């Protein structure tokens, strides 16, 4: 890695390409990722307490990469992006730590999990890069934080979400903080292997929900956990709102398409069905418009089961619009049925109103 050209080090893509071209095995590649991260990124002491909730993850990674400086979440995010870019499955883990197996740190922390040769290992690129003493960061690469066995890591690093302990009998927050373990026989088994497979299959919204549930189940034993739970619930609510907004937009678009179908048919009807098409085609056109509106109504019924009160007015307005257009489609369907039931010679008269003069 020390031989990497300066030009390659100017971007995450350049670094990942260099690693892929010069290292072949997963242990070699993850070692290169860890080495570059810990050797290059410095701990940002001045901003260690700063939290930017409105900053996008990609912007934060870019800022830390350009400045070659960041806090634990930046180290973990850069490590994670590089690891995934070189073909290694990696995740960022958030949690809290303790020193000397006694003192819980006053800051939450972030580190990484990566699957190397089908085995999950843990990495802490922040602790592996050096230490802060009296407000000054000193770089000292520490390999004790490279490819750590989960059974060892749990002595100092406690994930907010116990899924990332990689244990069938997770350690509780109470046990971690007190350093007193009840023993596996006192606990219900948690098959982390199956749960990880399930986690990776789940859509983002369901993932976020499960994370919040596991954090809550682990117990609110300190402020770090309570804050993590609030953050997880907020992330789930925000994603839920985003998903609902997307679904609602899709239903609106579906309604607009169905409405255009009906309007096209009405225009065709106003032209007295000219140019002529077969009876089957004529019937299909109005049925397609009607059926599209029916599906739209069904999708809206399903959608409104989970909406908030703030969105109820918009949904009610759309529901009313769909209902009116459905009524109109049924009216034109009845006309078509009557039209098709008549002999060809009599059909044209259906476009005219018969006026009877009174004496």
| CA pair distance 149, 311, nearest whole angstrom | 48
Residue 1 in domain: no
266 and 172 housed in the same domain = no
Task: Report helix, strand or coil for 90.
Answer: strand
How much is the pLDDT for 190? 95
* Residue 14 sits in the same domain as residue 156: yes
pLDDT at 4 over 60: yes
In this structure, are 156 and 26 located in the same domain? yes
The domain boundary, picked from 155, 181, 201, lies at: 201
**Could you tell me what percent of the chain has a pLDDT over 70?**
96
Q: What is the CA radius of gyration of the chain?
A: 31
pLDDT digits (tens, 9 = 90+) for 230-261: 999 999 999 988 998 899 999 999 999 999 99
Domain total in the chain: 2
Q: Which domain holds residue 288?
A: 259-351
Residue 250 forms part of a structural domain: no
Pair (129, 273) in one structural domain:
no
Output the six-digit token pair for 301: 């019924």
Condensed to tens digits (0 to 9), the pLDDT of residues 218-229 reads 888 888 999 999
pLDDT beyond 90 at 6: yes
Q: Is residue 241 part of a domain?
A: no
Q: Decide if 216 is inside a domain.
A: no
Rounded Cα–Cα distance for residues 214 and 229 (Å):
9
Q: Give the pLDDT confidence score for residue 121 in this predicted structure.
A: 98
Instruction: Please tell me whether residues 120 and 266 are part of one structural domain.
Output: no
DSSP string, 134-197: TTEEEE---GGGSSB-HHHHTTTEEESSGGGG--SSPPPHHHHHHT----GGGS----HHHHHH
Pair 298, 150 in one domain: no
Domain-ending residue, one of 201, 227, 245? 201
Q: In degrees, to the nearest 5, what angle opens at C-alpha 13 toward C-alphas 11 and 14?
A: 65
Distance CA 17, CA 5 (A): 12
Question: What's the angle, vertex CA 260, arms to CA 254 and CA 262, rounded to 5?
Answer: 105
Q: Is 120 helix (H, G, I), strand (E, B) or coil?
A: strand
183 shares a domain with 89:
yes
Mean per-residue pLDDT, 268-285:
94
Residue 359 within a domain: no
**CATH number, domain with residue 76:** 3.10.620
Backbone dihedral region of 335: left (phi > 0), alpha (psi from -120 to 50 degrees) or beta? alpha
Looking at the domain assignment, is residue 187 inside a domain?
A: yes
- Same domain membership, residue 264 and residue 152: no
Answer whether residue 235 is part of any domain. Answer: no
**Among residues 348, 251, 328, 346, which one has the least CA distance to residue 295?**
251
| Contact present, 325 and 278 (Cβ < 8 Å) | no
Say whether both 196 and 264 belong to one domain. no
- Positive/negative CA dihedral, 213, 217, 223, 224: negative
Does residue 179 sit in the same domain as residue 311? Answer: no
pLDDT digits (tens, 9 = 90+) for 327-358: 999 999 999 999 999 999 899 899 887 655 56
Q: Cα–Cα distance between 87 and 117 in angstroms, integer?
A: 12
What DSSP string describes 234-261? HHHHHHHHHHHHHHHHHHHHHHHHHHHH
Together in a domain, 174 and 286:
no
Question: Is residue 25 domain-resident?
Answer: yes
* Same domain flag for 30 and 100: yes
The mean of the pLDDT values for the chain is: 92
Last residue of a domain, one of 164, 183, 201: 201
């Amino acid at each position: 890695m020390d031989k990497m050209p300066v030009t390659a080090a100017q971007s995450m893509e350049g670094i990942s390409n260099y690693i892929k071209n010069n290292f072949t095995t997963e242990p070699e590649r993850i070692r290169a990722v860890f080495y570059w991260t810990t050797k290059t990124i410095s701990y940002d002491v001045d901003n260690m307490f700063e939290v930017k909730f409105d900053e996008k993850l990609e912007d934060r990674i870019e800022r830390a990469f350009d400045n070659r400086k960041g806090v634990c979440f930046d180290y973990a995010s850069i490590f994670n992006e590089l690891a995934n870019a070189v073909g290694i499955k990696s995740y960022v883990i958030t949690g809290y730590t303790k020193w000397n197996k006694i003192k819980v740190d006053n800051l939450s922390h972030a580190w990484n999990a990566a699957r190397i040769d089908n085995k999950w290992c843990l990495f802490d690129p922040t602790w592996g890069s050096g230490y802060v003493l009296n407000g000054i960061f000193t770089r000292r690469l520490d390999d004790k934080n490279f490819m750590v066995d989960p059974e060892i890591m749990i002595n100092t690093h406690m994930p907010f979400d116990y899924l990332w302990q990689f244990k069938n009998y997770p350690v509780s927050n109470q046990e971690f903080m007190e350093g007193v373990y009840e023993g596996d026989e006192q606990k219900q088994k948690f098959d982390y292997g199956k749960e990880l497979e399930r986690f990776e299959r789940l859509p983002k919204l369901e993932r976020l929900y499960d994370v919040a549930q596991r954090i809550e189940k682990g117990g609110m034993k300190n402020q770090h956990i309570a804050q993590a739970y609030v953050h997880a619930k907020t992330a789930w609510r925000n994603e839920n709102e985003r998903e609902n907004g997307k679904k609602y937009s899709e239903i609106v678009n579906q309604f607009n398409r169905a409405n255009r179908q009906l309007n096209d048919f009405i225009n065709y009807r106003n032209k007295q069905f000219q140019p002529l098409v077969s009876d089957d085609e004529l019937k299909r056109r109005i049925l397609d418009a009607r059926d599209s509106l029916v599906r739209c109504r069904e999708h809206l019924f399903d959608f409104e089961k989970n909406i908030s009160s703030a969105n109820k007015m918009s949904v009610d307005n759309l529901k009313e619009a769909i209902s009116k257009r459905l009524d109109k489609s049924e009216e034109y369907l009845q006309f078509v049925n009557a039209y098709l039931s008549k002999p060809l010679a009599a059909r044209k008269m259906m476009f005219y109103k018969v006026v009877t003069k009174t004496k």
